Amino acid sequence: MPSIDQMASQMSALCEGDTVICSTLVKMFGDAPWAPLVSSAITIVLILVLAFIIRRFAHRVITRVVNRAATGGSITSRFRKGAATDGIDALLHERRKQRAETMGSVLKHVASIVILGTAVLTVLDRLTIPIAPLLTSVGILGVAIGFGAQELVKDFIAGMFMLLEDQYGVGDVIDAGAAVGTVEAVTLRVTRLRDSDGRVWYVRNGTITRVGNESQGWSRAYMDVPVAYDADIVGVRVLLEQVAEEIWADPELRESKMVEEPRVYGVEQLSDSSLVFRISAKTLPSAQAEVARELRLRVKTALDTAGIPMVASA
């Protein structure tokens, strides 16, 4: 270990090479023997204070960027405005806010590590402690951890991109390949799903190669209606359009589950035994099953009332 006199002489040499702060302080203190030590101590304090100021400024910038990212315009403006689309906008805003806050937290931690780590290394160098062996050791340790924790790093990187791209969020119904269910929790490493049987699945983000999201933006409910070849095509289409108008006129469905009026696409398929008509409706996320059940009920009732039988399509 170097003695105090040796450290003082080394700090004095450092101050002589430092023409910005330390050498200026030494000149202010005159030829006192303690001037290099005091000047170096003041320089260290200034370095730490400057590091915390830069860290605070970086956090403020990240917070401002996160707040701006969390408040975006409505992406459902192309739909009619109403309770349903207002619900979509509220859901998307909350998802955007959660994603932005998560990314902001990660960026703040990274900024703190980089800024404070640089300040600590600068202080160690100012204290004449050699940092080259330390940097070499950290580099070797980083390589070893990188090789030993490749899967963990892969999971974290996949989780970062998943959050950035808003692939899914809590409450979404997704098909992650390994499991299908409702997202209950999302971290940078794993995604927790609960399937229709109540089973909880923990899926590592790095193992997810494709995701099917049934709850993002909007969904679609549809029904294929097979009728006989000799059925009145025009009459069947008019009947289905009346059913679509009735469903759209239902205030409960229109205001809380649907975003556009149902459409009748006419003859969708031709088989050797039937003509297949299709009726579909654009709905709120995850509301397609309930709307589809209502479609089936009303179409079947309307066909029975009109005396038009449905036939099995080949």
The 10 Å Cβ neighbour count of residue 232 is: 12
From residue 110, alpha-carbon distances to 93, 139, 154 in Å are: 26, 17, 18
pTM, full prediction = 0.56
Instruction: Confirm if 301 and 239 have CB atoms less than 8 A apart.
Output: no
Beta strands in 154-218 (DSSP E): 173-175, 180-186, 190-194, 200-204, 212-213
What pLDDT is attached to residue 77? 46
Query: Which range (132-146, 203-217, 241-255) has the least confidence?
Result: 132-146
* Position 14 confidence tier, pLDDT thresholds 50, 70, 90: low
Domains of the chain in start order, with CATH, are 4-148 (1.10.287), 163-213 (2.30.30.60), 219-306 (3.30.70.100)
- The per-residue pLDDT of the chain, averaged, comes to 77
Structure tokens of 205? 């983000």
Tens digits of residue pLDDT in 88-133: 566 666 667 767 777 777 788 888 888 988 888 888 877 777 777 7
CA 197 to chain centre: 26
278 three-class SS = strand
Largest CA distance in the chain: 112
Average pLDDT over residues 189-218: 86
